[in-house]
Chains A and B, each alone.
Chain A
Amino acid sequence: MPVLEPLIELGRGLWTTFRSMFERPVTYQYPEQKRPVRPRYRGRHVLKRYENGLERCIGCALCAAACPADAIFVEASENTDEERYSPGERYASTYEINYLRCIFCGFCEDACPTEAIVLEDDYELSFTDRRSAIYPKEMLLEPVGPEAEPTPQRTPPGLYTRAVPEMEDPKD
């Protein structure tokens, strides 16, 4: 009957809606549940350390030079054995990333010769004014491992005599 046909179409649509009530939701209940980050995800930067706790960053500012958004500011200083930050002559005494400029492209990670700056999983960045968008070194440094000492460290003289730590090809 002509009166029923629209009702049937309506029923079909409503059936789809009704069926979807019982489908498994793909919603993540953020922030209680968080979607796992994929490998090679480019989130907030982390300045990595070696296993003994010394920083990898040698203050070379190649990341700053590579950055297309001019988001990184680096100032370097000299290491001494009494106050050592990195296993070489030079370390970054000032390291700042401006997250309002950063485009998370990862060029800095590519440029780094010691694999010091990497983009890791943290995407939960929010700030309420421009100043707090500039993350200084303390906010970017990786926390020290359980068996390692924090920097600055006191190291025996004669142990770290090379100018730059041994650099290897990236593993992945």
Chain B
Amino acid sequence: MSKTVTLTIDGKQVTVPEGTLIVDAAKKIGVDIPVFCYHPKMQPVGMCRMCLVEVGRPVVDRATGQVVKNEDGTPQIRFAPNLMTACTTPVSEGMVVLTESEKAHDGHRAIIEFLLTSHPLDCPICDKGGECPLQELTMRHGPPQGRFPYEDKIHFEKHFPLGELIYLDRERCILCGRCIRYQAEIVGEPVIGFYQRGRATEIVTYSDPGFDSYFSGNTTDICPVGALTTADFRFGARAWELKAEASICAQCPVGCNIVFNTRREAKSGGRVVIKRVMPRQNEEVNELWICDKGRFVHHYTHSAERLSRPLMRKGETLQPVSWEDALRTAAEKFEAAGKEVLVLASGRLSNEDLFNLKALADGLGGRAVLYGDMGGGDLTTLVGVGQGTNLATLGAGDAILVIASDLQEEAPIWWLRVKQAAERGATLIVANPRATKLDTYASFVIRYANGDEVQTVLNLAKKTDKIGQAFAEAENAVVFFGSEGLGLEGSQRLAVACAHLLRETGHVGKPNNGLIGVWQRANDQGAWELGFEPVADLQAAFEQAGAVYIVGADPFGDGRLTLDGVKERPFLVVQEILPTPTTEVADLVLPAQAYAEREGTYVSGERRVQRFYAALPPYGEARPDFAITAAIGKRLGLDLEDGSAEKVFERLAVTQPAFENLTYARLAEVREQWPIVGRGDLYYGGTAYENRRGLGVQLVPAAQREEPVTLPEVQGEAGPRPEEDEWLGVPVTRLLDRGTTVLLSTLLHRRIGEPFVVVHPMAAERLSLAEGQKARLTVNGASAEVTVRVDETVSAGVVLVPRSMGLPLYEPMKVSLKAL
């Protein structure tokens, strides 16, 4: 029990933990002290002077140390002669704070008047108008008229690009420093800074590309004026014209809570489109932040390329057909194929879609295969993190192991949370075959050679060195395992080894302990939960099938499947939202709704089930994935639910033990969170949205349910290693890749860059290649032109090949690299 302090704010008594700042204490009882530079997630600096309040403390007799009392027994209060800033003053026992006295009002009015002396009259065109703290606080605290002559307002550069994603308007900037402090304190990448001083101070960025940080979009949320705005949303709509609907970001397994802001747009022919993505507060998942990928890749939902009608192959081309014909054909073909039906689904789909697909596959006696190259989902079901896990509570005495994952590229918000945990004192062990951005915060960095992943984990389990000991002795330990340099088999074996490590050190079955998979797609965890598993030889599975039902995956575009040399090709039904190389070769194409057009649930990597809601009307004749599957199933005589996503979830909850007792209502429950953000509170925490649509519920792993947990045996052999005179290509993940969503974005795609590979400088020399030079990479018969990059921390003999760049490498395999 930490010490508490009782004080009086505006006549109301409040008891808060020691060390709380006055402005936070006031927030707890609903007193909104105006702030600009203060942000509840950052250290206070007292730069703007807006939170001025009158502070009085009890008079203490110096001789006796006793509080001096008035005649009526109340303590004598001496007020400070000047106003004090509430954001930098911690509370003390018996303090009296007046926030609405005449002096305080004068102070607030004066500060607003000063801030407005040079603030340009941009409100009509400023993107922040309508959700602007300066506007709100001026209405509440400011003077009705300014006394500063309009012609003397100082003029600076407007519309200055800080990189291509963020615009800075230097005239509007009130120099609160929130953006700079956010980048320096919270993200740890100080790529923006103050330049010059006094009235000429301005924000600059010297990184290349400008404002080079995956979290740059968050600064536009916390900027209290319209100085920092996103280029993506520039002039998109006024803030009050937007409708907000809660959803979950589907770009990575973190499952950040977001809000889609939509509006009917004339530019797209009168359709309702997503105008921007904003964060929604969920302190257990993403706090108030989202990464730039989640923020800027919503444009695919209103691409003109979207599939809107079912298509059937007649002759050489795909012709539009009615839903009736399409569903009937699909059902006929599946019935004919019977047990030889292959259902290939990916983690892009929601739990409801996957549940119906599995039911369809089971009903026919066919196979349900997860499209992906990462294994270990069966382990996370057994020893995943316990219910009640919150990375924000990890600190000194806890341990985090991140192995085979470049966390900032694969799950940026997890990187942020792990970094913050390390800064709070958690022992962070980063094990990777090359340097990553998490190394700076790690207590221990293990650099293993490609192929030694499992051995590294086994060494930790032996507790022979201080790293292993630190992990074993930690009170709580979480292991993040990824697929850096690994394919299906490698990641599966790694997951098994990590699970054993956790069990042996007693870090299973409780909150903040367990295994987290850094999956490649948003709902891979959900897919594993519902019985989907990847297979090693996808091509063989494809060729053996009589009919293949591919949903939400593009194996032909990724080079995982090919029709070359296939004598008897199966009947191919593809359910997608956009045309892809896979739909090009399909026999039947079914248009599905994007997840923003319907509701459903995803399971995040931390095994949290979260609901997303429909923000857009359906596109064309597209239907939700689960409804299409159910319609086919019904025609096959199977009892599949097609009514609503909620009804499907009800069935799911009954049949899957992990989802026991979960309902949509439970998933929609919210609790009060700290800091209190909400659009009515004068934007204390920025313009992130309050969470009123659900915090989600974490699934309970088998270990926590006290079931017996049988782990597969550890297979300790090393993975593929580079041979003498050979090059071993290994897959790595980049955040900005040539996946559909990023390619169709309007700005972010410029940062994808050309396909590239990374090699050690010595390897580059041996191949007579230099940094930036073009080369030809050949893998599995397919070859592509790539740019060469050099990294000294990469193992010699290894070539890093990023996934989703058009190069068909999905597990460590031999490659050849030649200069052009």
Q: Chain A residues in contact with chain B, CB under 8 A?
A: 58-62, 64-65, 73, 75-78, 88-90, 93-94, 96, 113-114, 161-164, 167
B122: A residues at CB distance < 8 A: 163-164
Residues 161-206 (chain B) with a chain A CB within 8 angstroms: 169, 171
Is B125 in contact with A88, judged by CB distance below 8 angstroms?
yes
- Given A163-B125, A164-B125, check contact A59 B266 (CB 8 Å): no
A25 to B488, CA, bound (A): 96
Q: Can you name 13 A-B residue pairings with CB atoms under 8 Å?
A: A59-B125, A64-B241, A65-B240, A76-B125, A76-B235, A78-B234, A78-B235, A89-B125, A90-B125, A162-B155, A163-B159, A164-B120, A164-B122
A58–B238 alpha-carbon span in the complex (Å)? 13
Known: A65-B238, A77-B235, A90-B235. A164 touches B124 (CB 8 A): yes
Q: Which residues of A contact B121 (CB under 8 A)?
A: 164, 167
Q: Indicate which residue in B158, B171, B238, B266 contacts A61 across the interface (CB closer than 8 Å).
A: B238
A-B complex: 7 closest residue pairs judged by Cβ atoms: A60-B124, A90-B125, A94-B266, A76-B235, A61-B238, A113-B124, A163-B122
A90 and B125 CA atoms in complex are apart in Å by 7
A88 to B125 alpha-carbon distance, docked (Å): 9
On chain A, the residues within 8 Å of B129 by CB distance are 60
Residue pair A75, B238 in contact (C-beta under 8 Å): no
Do residues B237 and A75 form an inter-chain contact, with CB atoms below 8 A?
A: yes
- A127 and B158 alpha carbons, distance in the complex (Å): 44
Q: Known interface pairs A59-B235, A64-B241, A76-B235. Does A161 touch B125 (Cβ–Cβ under 8 Å)?
A: no
Q: Is B267 an interface residue (CB 8 A)?
A: yes
* Whole-angstrom distance between the Cβ of A83 and the nearest chain B Cβ: 14
B669 at the interface (CB under 8 A from A): no
Question: In whole angstroms, what is the CA distance A163 to B159 when docked?
Answer: 9
Q: Which B residues are closer than 8 A to A by beta carbons?
A: 120-122, 124-125, 129, 155, 158-159, 169, 171, 234-235, 237-238, 240-241, 265-267
Cβ of A80 to closest chain B Cβ, rounded Å: 11
Q: Which of B159, B171, B267 is within 8 Å of A94, CB to CB?
A: B267
Task: Identify the closest chain A residue to B241 (Cβ).
Answer: A61
Q: How far is the CA of A61 from the CA of B120 in the complex (A)?
A: 19
B171 proximity list for chain A (CB < 8 A): 163
Output the nearest chain A residue to B172 by Cβ-Cβ distance. A163
Closest beta carbon of chain B to A110's beta carbon, Å: 14
Please give the distance in Å from A137's CB to the nearest CB on chain B: 10
Cβ distance B265 to chain A, nearest Cβ, rounded Å: 7
Q: Which residues of chain B have C-beta atoms less than 8 A from A162's C-beta? A: 155, 158
> Please, which residue of chain A has its CB at the minimum distance from the CB of B265?
A75
State in angstroms the CA–CA spacing of A100 and B724 once bound together: 80
- B124 contacts A75, C-beta separation under 8 Å: no
Give the distance to chain B from A87, nearest Cβ to Cβ, in Å. Answer: 12
Interchain CA distance A61-B130 in the complex, whole Å: 11
Contact B266 A58 (CB under 8 A): no
| Nearest-Cβ distance from residue B229 to partner chain A, whole angstroms | 11
Shortest CB-to-CB span from B169 to chain A, Å, is 7
B125 touches A60 (CB 8 A): yes
Q: Which of A61, A113, A167 counts the most B-chain CB atoms under 10 A from its CB?
A: A61
Docked Cα-Cα span, A79 to B51, in Å, equals: 38
Q: How far is the CA of A84 from the CA of B385 in the complex (A)?
A: 57
Nearest B residue to A77, CB-CB: B235
Contact: B125 with A75, CB < 8 Å?
Answer: no
Choice from B120, B234, B238, B265 contacting A163 with Cβ under 8 Å: B120
Task: Point out the residues of chain B lying under 8 angstroms from A167, CB to CB.
Answer: 121
Q: A61-B238, A77-B235, A96-B266 are in contact. List 16 more A-B contacts (CB 8 A).
A: A58-B125, A60-B124, A60-B238, A62-B124, A64-B238, A76-B125, A76-B235, A78-B234, A88-B125, A89-B125, A90-B235, A113-B124, A161-B158, A162-B158, A163-B122, A164-B125
* Smallest Cβ-Cβ distance to A75: which chain B residue: B266
CB distance from B780 to the nearest CB of A (A): 46
B159 — which chain A residues lie within 8 A by C-beta?
A: 89, 163
Chain B nearest CB: distance from A67 CB in Å?
A: 12
Query: Which residues of the partner chain A approach B266 to less than 8 Å between Cβ atoms?
Result: 73, 75, 94, 96
A77 to B237, CA, bound (A): 10
Give the complex CA separation of A90 and B129 in angstroms: 14
Q: How far is the CB of B144 from chain A (nearest CB, A)?
A: 15
| Residue with the greatest number of chain A CB neighbours at <10 A, chosen from B125, B129, B237, B267 | B125
Residue of B nearest to A136 (CB): B266
B158: chain A residues at CB < 8 Å are 89, 161-163
Chain A nearest CB, measured from B581 CB (Å): 35
* Cβ–Cβ < 8 Å partners of A89 in chain B: 125, 158-159
List, in ascending order, chain A residues with CB within 8 A of B120's CB.
Answer: 163-164
Residues on the B chain within 8 Å of A94, using CB: 266-267
Q: Measured between C-beta atoms, what is the minimum distance from B55 to chain A in Å? A: 40
Report A20 CB to chain B, min CB distance, Å. 56
CA distance A114 to B124 in the complex (A): 10
Q: Smallest CB-CB separation from B263: which chain A residue?
A: A75
Task: For the complex, give the distance between the alpha carbons of A96 and B121 in Å.
Answer: 26
A162 CA to B125 CA, complexed, in Å: 12
Bound together, the chains give a CA A73 to CA B171 distance in angstroms of 29
**Minimal beta-carbon separation of A155 from chain B (angstroms):** 16
Q: Determine the distance from Cα of A162 to Cα of B150 in the docked complex, in whole angstroms.
A: 14
A164 to B158, CA, bound (A): 11
Closest A residue, CB atoms, query B120: A163
CA distance A96 to B122 in the complex (A): 23
Q: How far is the CA of A78 from the CA of B265 in the complex (A)?
A: 16
Smallest beta-carbon distance A168→chain B, Å: 10
Q: Report B-chain residues with C-beta under 8 Å of the C-beta of A65.
A: 238, 240-241
Question: Which A residue sits closest to B235, measured CB to CB?
Answer: A76
Q: How far is the CA of A163 from the CA of B128 in the complex (A)?
A: 14
Instruction: Tell me the complex Cα distance, A78–B159, Å.
Output: 11
Chain A residues positioned under 8 Å from B241 (CB to CB): 61, 64-65
**Complex interface: chain B residues within 8 A of A113 (CB):** 124
- The smallest beta-carbon distance between B414 and chain A, in angstroms, is 36
| B240 to chain A: closest residue by CB | A65
A77 to chain B: which residues have CB within 8 Å?
235
Given the contacts A60-B124, A64-B241, A163 and B169 also touching, CB distance less than 8 Å: yes
Give, as a whole number of angstroms, the nearest-CB distance from A61 to chain B: 5
Which of A59, A65, A163 gathers the greatest number of chain B CB atoms within 10 Å? A163
Return B355 CB to nearest CB of chain A, in Å. 41
Task: Report how far A60 CA is from B158 CA in the complex, Å.
Answer: 17
Q: A75-B265, A94-B266, A163-B158 are in contact. Are A58 and B235 (CB under 8 A)?
A: no
CA distance A58 to B234 in the complex (A): 14
A60-B241 Cα distance, complex, nearest whole Å: 12
Inter-chain CA distance A167–B150, complex, in Å, is 11
Q: How far is the CA of A58 from the CA of B551 in the complex (A)?
A: 46
A85 to B675 Cα, complex, angstroms: 44
A75 touches which of B155, B169, B240, B267 (Cβ 8 Å): B267
Tell me the bound Cα distance from A163 to B234 in angstroms: 13
User: Residue on B with the closest CB to A95?
Assistant: B266
- Residue ID in chain A nearest B130 by CB atoms: A65
Contacts of B125 in A (CB 8 A): 58-60, 76, 88-90, 163-164
Given the complex, which residues of A lie within 8 Å of B267, measured CB to CB? 75, 93-94
- The residue in chain B whose Cβ has the minimal distance to the Cβ of A94 is B266
CA distance A73 to B240 in the complex (A): 13
Chain A min CB distance to B264 (Å): 8
Name the distance in Å between A53's Cβ and chain B's nearest Cβ: 20
Residue of A with least CB distance to B171: A163
For A90, the chain B residues whose CB sits under 8 A away are: 125, 235
Counting chain B CB atoms within 10 Å of each CB, the highest count among A62, A77, A90 belongs to A90
Contacts of B240 in A (CB 8 A): 65
CA distance A88 to B235 in the complex (A): 13
Q: A64 vs B570: C-alpha distance in the bound complex, in angstroms?
A: 56
Minimal Cβ-Cβ distance residue in A for B236: A76
Of the listed residues A58, A60, A93, A94, the one surrounded by the most CB atoms of chain B closer than 10 A to its CB is: A60
User: Which residues does chain B contribute within 8 Å of A164, judged by CB atoms?
Assistant: 120-122, 124-125
Interface centre among B124, B129, B159, B237 (most CB of A within 10 A): B124
Q: Which residues of A contact B265 (CB under 8 A)?
A: 75
Q: Return the chain B residue nearest A65 by Cβ.
A: B240
A171 smallest CB distance to B (angstroms):
17
